[in-house]
Amino acid sequence: MENQNVTTEFILLGLSSNPEIQILLFFVFLIIYTITVLGNVLIILIIRTDHHLHTPMFYFLSHLAFVDISYSTVTVPKIMANCIANQKSISLVGCIVQIFSIINFACVDFSLLSVMAYDRYAAICNPLHYSTIMRKQICRQLVGGSWIMGFLDALINTYPLKHLRFCWMPSINHYTCELPVILSLSCSHTFNNYILLIATSIIFGFIPLFLIILSYIYIISSILHIHSAKGRSKAFSTCSSHLIVVCMFLFSVVFRYLKPNFKSPTDLEKVISIQYTILTPMLNPIIYSLKNKEIKVVIRNSLKNIGNISI
């Protein structure tokens, strides 16, 4: 095996080999990416410029918007390039960098969602001590911890990849590099890599998930003890957008990564992976904007001011 040629490049088969469909997919992904970037940038600008939104919840939301932009940028531009390129390839180094970035931003994203769940717990279950629990220093530490967790998760899973060998020109039956698929294509022993993947999934995935579930157990319990229907509705409305985003991201990732077979993904699995890599970063700002009264008020006032200026 050592005498065989070792490849340094992969062929990405993408979602379709039909040229007409590829052109259509290019414009679809271009629209999705544009909405993702503009929507999340708008969320960040609104939060940074309106002093009424300088609260822990919106502080975390602005960082989530930045992560969504970065997460989408890792994959979507490369997908669009491959849709119109004759040679749909990616280097081994580029593939490892993409895997590192995907794992990093996905872990930061999910960690921030758990932090936001804790923030909602503190606001609803301990409203009198909220300002003390979620003071600025704590918020910065929680965000910093999320980034550290993402970096460690990505580093632990991608550093051992430099020792893998691919003894032919493998084709990746996907539109992007994913760790399980790359491991299945290697002619090296990958047992330790799978163990690391499972271990980090438990540490960096199930621990934040446990914190989210625990937070919402206390939140729901507190909401049920609120006597007025209006009070219960208001308390739940502050959590509904967060719950929607968590469920969208979580179910698609679990289906893709925590299945017994890590071989080449099926068409259904490729479509589902679009959910957490492409659609979720686009839908996050839309969901939070539609479900959050403060953001809707700021957007409405901004549009009125723009209309008055133009008149």
CA distances 303 to 1, 52, 231, Å, are 65, 17, 30
CB 13, CB 173: distance < 8 Å:
yes
CA gyration radius, the chain: 22
Would you say 84 and 22 are in contact if contact means Cβ atoms under 8 Å apart?
yes
pLDDT value for 174: 76
Tens digits of pLDDT across the chain (311 residues): 444 445 677 888 777 777 788 889 889 999 999 999 998 998 888 888 888 778 898 899 899 999 999 999 998 998 888 888 777 778 888 888 999 999 999 899 889 989 988 998 898 888 888 888 999 999 999 999 999 999 999 999 999 888 888 766 677 777 788 888 888 888 888 888 888 888 888 888 888 888 888 988 888 888 877 777 776 776 676 677 777 777 777 766 665 555 555 555 566 667 777 777 788 888 877 777 666 676 767 667 766 665 554 44
CA 300 to chain centre: 28
